[in-house]
Amino acid sequence: MSEASLEDQFLELLKKNEKFRLAVASYLGYNEILRKLSEHDEKFNSILEEIKLLREDQNKLWENQNKLWEEVRALREGQKRLWEEVKALREEQNRLWEGQNRLWESQNRLWKEVKYLRAEVDSFGKAV
C-alpha cells in the first residue's frame, strides 16, 4: 500500500466515520482544546459583563459629577448674589455713617451755641 493511498483512506475515514473522527480528535487533544476554548469564552463573557457594569457605574459617576458641578455653579451664583448684597449693605452703612457724622457735627455746633448763649446769659446776669 502506497503512502498516497493510505492518506486517501485516512481522509476518507475521517470524512465518513464519525467514531473514527472523534477518536482522532480526542487523540489530538481536540476535546481539551474545545474545553479550554469554552472556559475562555466563559471568562471572556464574564469580563465583558464586568466591563458593562463598570461602564454603567462610570456613567452614573459622570451623571453625579455633572449634578455636583451644577450645584457648584448654583452655589457660586448664590455666593455672588450674597456678595452683591454685602456690597449694597456696606454702601448703605457708609451712607448711615456719613449721616451720623453730620448729626454729630450739628450736635457739636449746637453745644457750642449753647455754651456761647450760657456765657452770654451769665455775663448779662452779672451786668444787671
Q: HEC states along the chain?
A: CCHHHHHHHHHHHHHHCHHHHHHHHHHCCHHHHHHHHHHHHHHHHHHHHHHHHHHHHHHHHHHHHHHHHHHHHHHHHHHHHHHHHHHHHHHHHHHHHHHHHHHHHHHHHHHHHHHHHHHHHHHHHHHC
74 and 125, same domain (yes or no): yes
Confidence (pLDDT) at 101: 97
Judge whether 118 lies within some domain. yes
75 and 128, same domain (yes or no): yes
Confidence (pLDDT) at 30: 85
Judge whether 47 lies within some domain. no
Cα separation of 40 and 32, whole Å? 12
Judge whether 51 lies within some domain. no
Judge whether 64 lies within some domain. no
Residue found by looking up cell 452770654 in the block: 120
Give the chain's domain count: 2
| Per-residue confidence band for 76, with pLDDT thresholds at 50, 70 and 90 | very high
When pLDDT is averaged across residues 59-71 and rounded to a whole number, the result is 98
- Cβ-based neighbour number of residue 24 at 10 Å: 14
Cell reading at 105: 457735627
Judge whether 125 lies within some domain. yes
Judge whether 1 lies within some domain. yes
pTM of the model: 0.51
Judge whether 61 lies within some domain. no
Confidence (pLDDT) at 81: 98
